[in-house]
């Protein structure tokens, strides 16, 4: 089996694991159906989905045959490509932990759900947006494994989207939880512990 085939398998496993985890938690929280219009940032979400759609096509082409995307290939050393897989695993672990903790307060949209509870335990004890951090980690891992700069736009698109979304999300949380959320913000970091 060639090295490139091993990278393809690693990417396939990373993708399937991510989609399965998301589907499992979305189903559990009753948010399997995407209802964009109920999000406070639905216009931005539509743009993200469009961009991700184009980028996902590049990833799919790479998965079928990496040489089809060779125009964008980067000569990364093997150890760096495999450390991408470590990032994927770290991202997926953080994603499950955060979903498990956030439980029914999760939504793909920006909204306050019925009986919404402020969650400040698990990874939320240190960071306010572990799910977003996990998605950035996971997709950065994919970019490293594929060693392809077209695919590196996936983590960049996610990061830009989350950086734009977080101020709106935090404003919404302050409106809903007031000083409780303001205090929580003082003792936590956004995506990381700073
Ligand atoms: N930004 C968080 C949550 C993503 S899910 C993360 O990255 O982990 C998005 C929804 O989570 C938002 O609609 C918001 O209502 C809710 N939310 C965000 N932080 C929360 C918290 N600390 N407690 C409860 N709900 C939260």
pTM of the predicted model as reported, rounded to 2 decimal places:
0.97
pLDDT at 36: 81
Ligand 1 center to 121 CA (angstroms) = 12
Whether 193 is in a domain gets the answer no
Whether 194 is in a domain gets the answer no
Ligand 1 center to 56 CA (angstroms) = 25
Q: Is the Cα dihedral 58, 61, 66, 70 positive or negative?
A: negative
CA distance 155 to 79: 20
CA distance 122 to 105: 14
Whether 23 is in a domain gets the answer yes
pLDDT at 194: 63
Whether 192 is in a domain gets the answer no
Per-residue model confidence as pLDDT tens digits over 77-120: 999 999 999 999 999 999 999 999 999 999 999 999 888 999 99
Residues lower than pLDDT 50 in the chain: none
The CATH number of the domain where 66 resides is what?
1.20.120.1630
Whether 60 is in a domain gets the answer yes
Domain carrying residue 145? 3-187
Q: What is the DSSP letter of 152?
A: T
Task: Identify the bridge partners of residue 139 per DSSP, sorted by sequence position.
Answer: none
How many domains are there within the chain?
Answer: 1
Ligand 1 center to 96 CA (angstroms) = 14
Among 34, 41, 134, 173, the mutation site with the greatest number of ligand 1 atoms within 8 A of its Cβ is 173
CA distance 119 to 103: 9
Residue nearest to atom 11 of ligand 1 (CA): 106
């Amino acid at each position: 089996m060639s090295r490139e085939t091993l990278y393809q398998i690693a990417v396939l496993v990373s993708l399937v694991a991510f989609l399965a985890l998301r589907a499992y938690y979305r189903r559990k929280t009753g948010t399997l159906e995407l209802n964009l219009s109920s999000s406070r940032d639905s216009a931005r979400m539509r743009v993200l989905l469009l961009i991700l759609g184009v980028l996902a096509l590049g990833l799919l082409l790479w998965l079928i045959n990496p040489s089809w995307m060779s125009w964008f290939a980067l000569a990364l050393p093997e150890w760096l490509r495999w450390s991408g897989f470590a990032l994927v695993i770290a991202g997926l672990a953080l994603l499950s932990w955060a979903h498990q903790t956030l439980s029914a307060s999760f939504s793909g949209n920006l909204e306050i759900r019925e009986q919404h509870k402020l969650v400040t335990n698990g990874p939320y004890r240190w960071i306010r947006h572990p799910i977003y951090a996990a998605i950035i980690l996971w997709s950065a891992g994919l970019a490293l494994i594929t060693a392809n700069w077209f695919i590196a736009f996936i983590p960049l698109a996610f990061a830009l989207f989350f950086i734009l979304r977080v101020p709106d999300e935090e404003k919404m949380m302050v409106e809903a939880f007031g000083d409780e959320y303001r205090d929580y913000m003082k003792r936590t970091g956004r995506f990381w512990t700073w």
